[in-house]
Amino acid sequence: MEKNVLQTVKFFLVTGLFFSGLTACATHNLDTSWTRLIQGEQGLENFSQVGEANWGATDDTIQATEKSKAFGFLVSKNAYQDFMIHVEFWASEDANSGIFLRCQNPNNITDENCYEVNIFDQRPDPAYATGGIVKVAKAPNPVPKAGGKWNTYEISARGSRLGVVLNGIQTVDIEDTRLVSGPIALQWARGTIKFRKVDIRPLQ
C-alpha cells in the first residue's frame, strides 16, 4: 500500500514538473525583463498611429488590411536603444510590411531613418525582401517566404550589432553604426498584416 502511495506521489511530482517546464518554454516572457506591447487584441494603446492604415483589434490580433487608405504605422510610445524584440505575425502572400527599429522621427517613418526588417515576399527587387534589413543587409537567396502563415521574428540590436532570426533561421548578423536609439514601428503598406504578439526586452 505504502509503495503504491509513493508511486502516485512520484507520478504527480514528475508530471507537475513536466508541465511546468512546458509552460516556461511556451511563455518566454514570464521573465520580468520582457515588456508585452501586443497580446491578441490588446496593445494599441502602446502605439501612436501614423498614416492612414486601418489598424484594428480583431480575430485575436492587431491588424491592417487592403482596405487601408494609405501607408500606415504603429509607432511605439517609448524609444529603445539595445534590445531584443519577439514578433509573431501573419502576412498575406502580397503583403508589404516590416518591423522598423531605432526610428529617428516618429512622425516620418522611412527605411532611411530607421532600420527596416522587411516582410515583403513579392518585393520587385528581392535583394532586401523578407528576412533582410532594407539597404543594410540582404535577404537570403532564395528569399524566405512568410506569406499565408504565422511566422516569428526574433530581432536584436546591441550597439552596432544587428541580428534577425526568422522562424528559427538566422537571416542577418551585421554591424551598422548609423542609428543608435529610437522607437520601433510596425508597418502596413499592402495586403494584410496581423500581429498577435510583440514583446521587447532591454539588452545589457
Q: What is the pTM of this model?
A: 0.85
pLDDT for the residue numbered 30: 53
At 133-144, the pLDDT tens digits run: 999 999 999 999
- d(Cα 184, Cα 191) in Å, to the nearest integer? 21
Instruction: Answer whether 196's CB lies under 8 Å from 63's CB.
Output: no
Task: Note down pLDDT in tens along the chain; length 204 residues.
Answer: 444 434 443 333 333 433 333 333 334 545 789 999 999 999 999 999 999 999 999 999 999 999 988 999 999 999 999 999 999 999 999 999 999 999 999 999 999 999 999 999 999 999 999 999 999 999 999 999 999 999 999 999 999 999 999 999 999 999 999 999 999 999 999 999 999 999 999 998
Cβ contact 29:36 at 8 Å: yes
- Which position has the grid cell 501573419? 90
Provide the residue ranges of all domains of the chain, joining segments of one domain with +.
Answer: 35-202
CATH class of 35-202: mainly beta
- pLDDT of 194 reads 98
The whole-angstrom separation of Cα 132 and Cα 162 is: 11
Strand partners, 89: 151, 195
Binning the chain into helix, strand and coil, the percentages to the nearest 5 are 15, 45, 40
